[in-house]
């Protein structure tokens, strides 16, 4: 079969959607020796990759590029108002796999597979921008009515989707979790801005500064830990600075911790691997996750983990982390104090992290998705079966 595969977010600045698409496609290139792929570096009407050539393209004749566009408005028009030769220009695929929240209309022959990430924009509209919320909801709503199969990154996200759209048939869904791209042999490089930070002697949090990542409570817990225990390990924050940096500056100044935080900004994979491997412990008190990849990445490099007990995170962490209520500042501070005061606990968490991370692999996920591709080809189009349960 020929699979049209959205790689639009697998470029250099990739985040959650891009990591799933890149990890899955790289694994498919290894385990799938039969099918051909048409890759779409331009896909949808509300995201444009400025450097399409940076998107993932495995080697080999089985992987070729689909259409690209010189201007974003041309891309928008193509997907918003599909031309009569829409599927021909997409490479005449048997399946189109959408990976960036956008859901295409206009497919008459190809089956549509849709990757479901999360519904956080429905849970709390303040967690994202108006434009992003509108685009994500539009794609999700169309997927609920047009997608022939849904691939969810977690049980939590799938159950959330089915609560919102209870008429979507569960037998047309599957859970295909992410996996870590890191391992014991991953290249490691100390970030340039951490020359004064002692390896093994810093707390770490990874993620863009945004409301659902819960940084304000993390800062309050860190301040409480310093005050109550006399601890002086710095807190390193890796990732994009996001759209709340003015609020962050005010908060950390009021808490008196501004001189004890280190913001790295966006880091390379080698730098991130160094941070995961060298941190004293990894802290991730997020309010909402569709999966929680940073937790799994930290575990794959042996970090002791303290993370939220909310949404999908217990599904990822299992019994390998200390789970805390993300709204309980005191509870998070106590968990930090427990890890800092008990070397045996920290080492036990590190060992459990490695074992837990070993349960996830991109090869397993690729085989799950390949089975989904084979299944969807045997099913009638969902759009014609609105009565299906």
* pLDDT tens per residue across span 321-338: 999 999 999 999 999 999
d(CA 112, CA 248): 42
Q: Which pLDDT score is estimated for 257?
A: 95
Q: Identify the burial level of 383 via C-beta atoms within 10 angstroms of its C-beta, where 0-12 means exposed, 13-18 middle and 19 or more buried.
A: middle
- Residues 71-123 have pLDDT tens digits of 999 999 999 999 999 999 999 999 999 999 999 999 999 999 999 999 988 88
CB-based contacts of 349, cutoff 8 Å, min separation 6: 281, 304, 305, 320, 321, 322, 339
The model's confidence at residue 243, banded by pLDDT at 50, 70 and 90, is: low
Q: Which pLDDT score is estimated for 242?
A: 64
What is the residue-averaged pLDDT of the chain? 93
- What the chain holds in terms of domains, given with CATH numbers, is 2-179+362-384 (3.40.50.2000), 192-357 (3.40.50.2000)
Tokens of 49: 């990759």
Q: Which pLDDT score is estimated for 209?
A: 83
- Residues 153-162 have pLDDT tens digits of 999 999 999 9
Nearest to residue 5, comparing CAs of 269, 366, 361, 293?
A: 366
At residue 49, does pLDDT exceed 90?
Answer: no
d(CA 297, CA 305): 11
Q: Which pLDDT score is estimated for 385?
A: 65
- Residues 13-42 have pLDDT tens digits of 777 889 999 999 999 999 999 999 999 999
- Residues 183-242 have pLDDT tens digits of 989 999 999 889 889 999 999 999 888 888 999 999 999 999 999 999 999 999 998 776
Q: Which pLDDT score is estimated for 195?
A: 87
Lowest mean pLDDT of 145-159, 175-189, 241-255, 340-354, name the range: 241-255
d(CA 176, CA 190): 32
At residue 290, does pLDDT exceed 60?
Answer: yes
Q: Are 198 and 277 within 8 A, CB to CB?
A: no
The model's confidence at residue 388, banded by pLDDT at 50, 70 and 90, is: very low
Percent of the residues in the chain that have a pLDDT greater than 70, as a whole number: 97
Tokens of 132: 């992003």
């Amino acid at each position: 079969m020929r699979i049209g595969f959205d790689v639009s977010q697998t470029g250099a600045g990739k985040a959650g959607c891009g990591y799933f698409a890149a990890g899955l496609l790289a694994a498919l290139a290894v385990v799938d020796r039969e099918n051909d792929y048409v890759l779409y570096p331009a896909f949808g009407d509300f995201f444009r990759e400025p450097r399409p050539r940076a998107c993932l393209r495995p080697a080999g004749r089985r992987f070729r590029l689909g259409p690209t566009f010189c201007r974003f408005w041309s891309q928008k028009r193509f997907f918003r108002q599909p031309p009569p030769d829409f599927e021909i220009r997409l490479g005449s695929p048997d399946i189109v796999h959408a990976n960036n929240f956008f859901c295409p209309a206009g497919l008459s022959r190809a089956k549509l597979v849709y990757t479901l990430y999360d519904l956080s924009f429905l849970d709390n509209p303040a967690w994202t921008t108006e434009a992003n919320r509108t685009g994500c909801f539009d794609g999700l709503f169309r997927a609920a009515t047009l997608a022939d199969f849904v691939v969810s990154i977690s049980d939590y996200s799938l159950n959330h989707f089915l609560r919102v759209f209870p008429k979507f048939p569960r037998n047309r869904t599957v859970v295909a979790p992410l996996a870590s791209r890191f391992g014991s042999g991953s290249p490691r490089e100390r970030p340039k801005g951490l020359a004064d930070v002692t390896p093994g002697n810093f707390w770490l949090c990874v993620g863009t500064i945004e409301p659902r990542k819960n940084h304000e409570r993390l800062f309050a817990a860190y301040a409480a830990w310093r005050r109550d225990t006399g601890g002086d390990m710095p807190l390193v924050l890796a990732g994009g600075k996001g759209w709340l940096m003015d609020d962050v500056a005010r908060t950390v100044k009021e808490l008196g911790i501004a001189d004890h935080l280190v913001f790295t900004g966006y880091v390379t994979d080698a730098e991130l691997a160094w941070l995961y491997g060298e941190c004293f412990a990894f802290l991730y008190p997020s309010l909402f996750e569709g999966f929680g990849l940073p937790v799994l990445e930290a575990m794959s490099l042996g970090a002791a983990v303290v993370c939220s007990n909310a949404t999908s995170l217990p599904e990822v962490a299992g019994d390998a982390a200390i789970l805390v209520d993300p709204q309980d500042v005191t509870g998070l501070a106590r968990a930090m104090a427990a890890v800092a005061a008990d070397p045996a606990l920290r080492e036990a968490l590190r060992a459990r992290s490695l074992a837990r991370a070993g349960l996830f692999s991109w090869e397993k996920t690729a085989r799950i998705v390949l089975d989904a591709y084979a299944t969807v080809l045997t099913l009638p189009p969902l759009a014609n079966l609105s009565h299906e349960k």
